[in-house]
Amino acid sequence: MTNSEIIIKSKLIDNSKNFYREIVMGLLLLMATIYLSLHNYILVHTVVEVFSIIVAYMLLTIAINTYQMTDNHYLLFLGVAYGFIAFFDLIHTLSFKGMGVFSKDLGDASTQLRIIARYMEGITLLVAPMFLKRKVKVKATMAFYVITSVLLLLSVLYWEVFPTCIVAGGGLTTFKIVSEYIIASMIALSAIYLTKNKSSFTEKNYRMLIGSYIASILSAIAFTHYIDVYDFANMIGHVLKGVSFYLIYKAFIETSIKEPYKKLMESEDWYRGVTQMLPTGLFIYTNYQCIFTNSAFQQMMGAKSQEDLIGKSIFDFIHPDSHLKIKNVIQVRKQQKKKEEIYEEKFIKLNGEVIDVEVRAIFLPHANREETLVIVTDVTPQKEKEKLQRHIQYKQQQLKESIEYDKLKTEFFSNLSHEMRTPLNVIFGTVQLLDLQFQAHDPSKKMQKQMKVLKQNCYRMLKLINNLLDITKIDAGYFETGFENCNIVSIIEDITDSVIPYGENKGITFLFDTDIEEKIMAVDINGIERIMLNLLSNAIKFTDAGGSVNVNIYDKTEKIVIVIKDTGSGIPPDKLPFVFDRFRQANESLKKNHQGTGIGLSLVESLVKIHDGDIRVESEVDKGTSVFIELPVTLQKNLEETTASLEDIEENLVEKINIEFSDIYTIK
């Protein structure tokens, strides 16, 4: 069973207990009244009438004080009318036989006043349902009842024209008896109208009003069965009248006081619940002291409950650096009578943590004191986001500047490479012309050897410039490729065959082997040539006479693996991770004998990656080095296979080999 079900069940039990308690108390009071009436009728009569009069005037008082706020004009009309009914009941009580208030006997007048009050009550109850759907004009209603009351009072006490109701020793007149039944009929008819409009009342109010009407009807019937005013039937009629007035009073209290107060409490609880459920922090303060907080603010401040914050100064929440500023803001707001203020501030949580908040302070005049509602939004995540955005913008600016700098640097090296290449080509061309002239006119070996040294160093410089130019183009993203569908096996074999003579000159044997004779795939032939020549030149460079270089191709269906293996000096294990680093040579001990820039392998790696391939190196010192290249097998759409002959390869490779091998051989 949920908490709400337990509460509802508890309320039902309490209501049931109250109902039975009222029934028991009512029966005890009724029996006590009957018992007292047998011994002192006038006392009981007076008590019942005074009780009815007090109740009626209370109804009038409630009606007058709530008519501008109530929406139940049915009960409002009854309240006004019962005030005048009570006036006639008061005169009736004072003039009752045996009271001794007036000097002469007003026995019939007392009964006449009572029948007037009952007629007024019956007509009122009959007319009242009209005001279930229309508003009462209170002043006009009171004016009508005042005029009617004055005329009826004069007809009894001054003009003495009101019909006789009781004859001394003769009992009730026909007029009196018929009137009681007419009054009972009017009340019964009004009860029927009330039942038809049952939906206009709560179940409890409806039951009390119907109970009041039934008691009033029975009272009227009882008043038709007595002969003397002290008879038992008259006493029963007065008791039932008291019950009727009491039930009307209860209905009034429920509708005009208890029900509105209950609705007010429910409304307050509802708004309080809504306030507590709001995701935005709220607190109210007066005289700088916190008097209310909602759950979101408690959570924001790290409080376990409202009690941790209630009673604290608002400056306990605000960062000390802002105390003076906040005091000035509040003072200016009071002077300028601003109702609302929005600003950002730093609050301090109970654990000392500082958070950024947006504060919206709203002035709330309440109960002759100044209260301020403060809506607090935690903007710490927003501030962190803004800070992160600023950091990202700063980093983006740095990246942009770095890219621009790298671009300038790349352009510089590119221009430098071109500037160096142009005069070098002029020098190389001149050297070649001189070489031809010397061969024709001075065939001495000495001069030819010097010319070969010049040509070799020109090739070496050209290699350096080409490598610098290509690596800068790759870095800048301007490197041009020409992928073609061709037989990669024949290309690798032709390149290997082209460099065999250079290996044999050094006493190195070459072996080419493949497990597939043909593999058509898209490659950049120029890039493959650069890769293979660089790796083969390294293999020859670092392999001594008597060693060997093996080139193998393995078919892996969706990729091919090219392996260049030598029996050279090898690479130390601590240098292996850096073999592809730019400007770094793997074996510093060989640097004297084999000059290099450290660009070659870095360029090879870049060219392999342009083919979406991978490259790795395995090596052991004094045993040799193996380079593994894995290239994916892809085809260029709408391109036919390109066939390159051995003659074409050799013709294109001669110059490239001279350049790539320039730091190994003296050109012959």
Mind listing the pLDDT tens digit for each residue in 558-598? 999 999 999 999 999 988 888 888 766 655 544 444 555 56
What is the pLDDT at residue 107?
63
Whether this prediction's pTM lies above 0.85 is answered by no
Alpha-carbon span 169 to 350, nearest angstrom: 90
Between helices 73-94 and 41-66, what is the axis angle to 10°? 150
Q: Which of 25-34, 191-200, 372-381, 451-460 has the lowest mean pLDDT?
A: 25-34
Q: Which of 206-210, 234-238, 318-322, 410-414 has the lowest mean pLDDT?
A: 410-414
What is the pLDDT at residue 612?
93
pLDDT in tens, 109-142: 888 998 999 999 999 999 998 888 888 888 899 9
Is it the case that residue 35 has pLDDT exceeding 90?
no
Is it the case that residue 5 has pLDDT exceeding 50?
no
Instruction: Provide the pLDDT confidence category of residue 477 given band limits of 50, 70 and 90.
Output: confident
What is the pLDDT at residue 592?
47
What is the pLDDT at residue 580?
87
* Backbone torsions φ then ψ of 617, nearest 5 degrees: -125, 135
Strands (E) located in 287-385: 289-293, 340-348, 354-366, 369-378
In this structure, the chain runs to a length of 668
Range among 279-283, 643-647, 664-668 with highest mean pLDDT value: 279-283
What is the pLDDT at residue 648?
57
Q: Is residue 135 a contact partner of residue 117, using CB atoms and an 8 Å limit?
A: no
Q: Is residue 527 a contact partner of residue 611, using CB atoms and an 8 Å limit?
A: yes
SS3 40: coil
pLDDT in tens, 337-349: 777 888 888 899 9
Between residues 370 and 146, the one the model is more confident about:
146
CA distances in angstroms from 406 to 399, 419, 475, listed in the order given: 10, 19, 9
Cβ burial of 1 (10 Å; 0-12, 13-18, 19+) is exposed
Between residues 463 and 255, the one the model is more confident about:
463
Alpha-carbon span 159 to 152, nearest angstrom: 10
What is the pLDDT at residue 647?
56
CATH 3.30.450.20, applies to 279-378: yes
Is it the case that residue 4 has pLDDT exceeding 50?
no
Cβ burial of 437 (10 Å; 0-12, 13-18, 19+) is exposed
Q: Is residue 97 a contact partner of residue 77, using CB atoms and an 8 Å limit?
A: no
The residue type at 369: R
Concatenated DSSP letters of 303-331? -SSGGGTTT-BGGGTB-GGGHHHHHHHHH
Q: Which of 35-44, 385-394, 454-463 has the lowest mean pLDDT?
A: 35-44
Q: Please, what is the average pLDDT of the chain?
A: 81
Between residues 228 and 318, the one the model is more confident about:
318
Give the count of beta carbons closer than 10 Å to the beta carbon of residue 436.
Answer: 11
Alpha-carbon span 207 to 191, nearest angstrom: 11
Let me know if the fold of 42-266 is the same as that of 481-660: no
Q: What is the DSSP letter of 132?
A: G
Residue 600 CA to its chain's centroid (Å) = 57
Give the mean model confidence (pLDDT) for residues 629-654.
Answer: 71
Is it the case that residue 227 has pLDDT exceeding 70?
no
What is the pLDDT at residue 268?
76
Q: Is residue 563 a contact partner of residue 535, using CB atoms and an 8 Å limit?
A: no
Is it the case that residue 202 has pLDDT exceeding 60?
yes
Q: Which of 46-50, 441-445, 479-483 has the lowest mean pLDDT?
A: 441-445
What is the pLDDT at residue 618?
93
Is it the case that residue 382 has pLDDT exceeding 70?
yes
Q: Which of 206-215, 252-261, 376-385, 554-563 has the lowest mean pLDDT?
A: 252-261
Range among 5-19, 436-450, 495-509, 596-610 with highest mean pLDDT value: 495-509
CATH architecture of 481-660: 2-Layer Sandwich (3.30)
Is it the case that residue 419 has pLDDT exceeding 80?
no
Tokens of 204: 């409890």
Instruction: Provide the pLDDT confidence category of residue 8 given band limits of 50, 70 and 90.
Output: very low
Q: What is the DSSP letter of 597?
A: -
Is it the case that residue 532 has pLDDT exceeding 50?
yes
Q: Is residue 346 a contact partner of residue 257, using CB atoms and an 8 Å limit?
A: no
pLDDT in tens, 126-183: 999 888 888 888 889 999 999 999 999 999 888 889 999 888 777 788 998 899 899 9
Tokens of 631: 């290239």
Give the mean model confidence (pLDDT) for residues 387-393.
Answer: 88
Instruction: Provide the pLDDT confidence category of residue 641 given band limits of 50, 70 and 90.
Output: low
Per-residue 3-state assignment (H helix, E strand, C coil) for 103-164: CCCCHHHHHHHHHHHHHHHHHHHHHHHHHHCCCCCHHHHHHHHHHHHHHHHHHHHCCCCCCC
CATH match for 42-266 among 3.90.79.10, 2.40.30.10, 1.20.1070.10, 3.30.70.360: 1.20.1070.10
Q: How far apart are the first and last CA of the chain?
A: 105
For 254-284, b/e burial (b = at least 16 CB within 10 A) is: bbbeeebeeeeeeeeeeeeeebeeeeebbbb
Give the mean model confidence (pLDDT) for residues 273-295.
Answer: 86
Instruction: Provide the pLDDT confidence category of residue 523 given band limits of 50, 70 and 90.
Output: very high
What is the pLDDT at residue 258?
67
What is the pLDDT at residue 454?
77
Q: Which of 62-66, 336-340, 391-395 has the lowest mean pLDDT?
A: 336-340
Between residues 86 and 26, the one the model is more confident about:
86
What is the pLDDT at residue 584?
66
Residue ranges covered by each domain of the chain: 42-266, 279-378, 383-454, 481-660
Instruction: Provide the pLDDT confidence category of residue 12 given band limits of 50, 70 and 90.
Output: very low
Q: What percent of the chain has pLDDT over 90?
A: 23
Give the mean model confidence (pLDDT) for residues 399-422.
Answer: 74
